Chain A
Amino acid sequence: DGGITQSPKYLFRKEGQNVTLSCEQNLNHDAMYWYRQDPGQGLRLIYYSQIVNDFQKGDIAEGYSVSREKKESFPLTVTSAQKNPTAFYLCASSRSGSNTGELFFGEGSRLTVL
């Protein structure tokens, strides 16, 4: 079955540590996205990528980094510079240029900073 796989589902981190969240898709989608979800704030876009080896900052990119070396993979690193990293992180993908607005989401990764 095609879909998006995020791992790990739950992650605990000590302050000052970087952590990388994995996102893999087998939908052959060009575009991939990372969103952050906080209670009462909905989803906010962190980074997105329309094509391999290219990515753009979203609305809240500070303290995060990404790479897009393969079409299938779009890992997100939460760095120690992110002041409030505890959140639910959602990865998504879409067919670039499809103009359908439909995103396909993974099941999310919940990061807790201790």
Chain B
Amino acid sequence: GNSVTQMEGPVTLSEEAFLTINCTYTATGYPSLFWYVQYPGEGLQLLLKATKADDKGSNKGFEATYRKETTSFHLEKGSVQVSDSAVYFCALSDLSNFGNEKLTFGTGTRLTIIP
């Protein structure tokens, strides 16, 4: 079955540091890949996505590239801010069930940015 593995947290960085959160996946077929973000006390929001190999998703300074050869979708940001403190989830789609949007999520990585 499908699975997503992301680096365990928590991750603590100083403001303006470079961020990488690793994500690898196992899937049949050609899934789409996503990063969702959960701010404290809220539900999840889509941060970025990539639908095919070599696509790069980007939003709010975050980027991730769909690497089929390494089955990875690592999240990066060049200079983090305190407001980026949140839990980040890597996910993949399973469209085998009549196009239903069943997503498989990783366990989440808690990121804390220190001023």
Contacts and interface: CB of A to CB of B under 8 A. Distances in A.
B71 interface: no
Contact of B100 (A41, A50, A107): A50
Interface string A22-54: 000000000101010000111111001010000
A45 B43 contact: no
**Secondary structure at chain B's binding surface: helix, strand, loop or mixed?**
loop
B45 to A, nearest CB: 7
A41 B44 contact: no
Given A48-B100, A94-B101, A100-B101, A105 B44 contact: yes
Interface residues of A, number: 30
A2 interface: no
Interface of A: 4, 6, 31, 33, 35, 40-45, 48, 50, 56, 58, 90, 92, 94, 96-103, 105-108
